[in-house]
Structure 1
Amino acid sequence: MKILAVTACPTGIAHTYMAAEALEKEAKERGFNIKVETQGSIGIENEITKEDLEGADVVILTKDMVIKGRERFKGIPVVNVSIGDVIKKPGPLLDKIIEHLKKHNSKV
């Protein structure tokens, strides 16, 4: 599975990066390909490119802040989740995403 994600929190400091780390760790443990863009207090880091979008199965966006550049994910299933859930429950989050994609005949 190829996952893209964008994390951002109200202060743009710790939680932005904690969420990115939690997603990366959980996805890699499952053997998934993941790229996480952070939109923090120092701007956009690890920006998702057009090449990254190709073949993506899902995009995870934190919903605590406005995510810049949402339009680039058109045509890819998008999941909006609170940054706290990403940090505290990345495993159950990915389980729900996989279940949803399977139900809707998306490749997993």
Structure 2
Amino acid sequence: MRLVAVVACTSGIAHTYIAKEKLISASEKRGHTIKVETQGTIGVENELTSDDIKKADVVIMATDIQTTGNERFDGKKIIKVPTNVAVKAAGQLIKKIDNEFNKGD
């Protein structure tokens, strides 16, 4: 499965980047590809392209604040969680996504 994610915590520093790494690790362990955009204190990094979004099966929004550019995901399957879920339970999150969205449809 192809995943994309936007990660943004309230301070835009530590949890944003920890969540990014945890999501990447958990996704790869389950055999998925993922690209993660961060929106933090230094702005948007690793911005998702329209092609990334088009090819994605699911969008993960691991955010604690309002993020920009969310209209890009209209029509996509989206799961929204706080960043602490991505930090503390990324493996369980990806497993949940598998169960909910990876049914061969």
Which whole-Å CA distance do the structure 1 matches of 2:98 and 2:35 have between them? 17
1:92–1:50 distance in 2 versus 1, CA, 3 Å = same
In structure 2, the residue matched to 1:60 is 60
Classify the secondary structure of the residue corresponding to 1:89.
helix
Shift of 1:106: 5.7
Gaps of 5+ in 1: none
Shift of 1:7: 0.3
Runs of 4+ with deviation above 2 angstroms? none
Classify the secondary structure of the residue corresponding to 1:99.
helix
Give the superposed CA RMSD: 1.2
Which whole-Å CA distance do the structure 2 matches of 1:89 and 1:30 have between them? 14
AA at the equivalent of 1:34: I
AA at the equivalent of 2:47: E
Gaps of 5+ in 2: none
Is the Cα contact below 8 Å between 1:57 and 1:106 reproduced in 2?
Answer: no
AA at the equivalent of 2:35: K
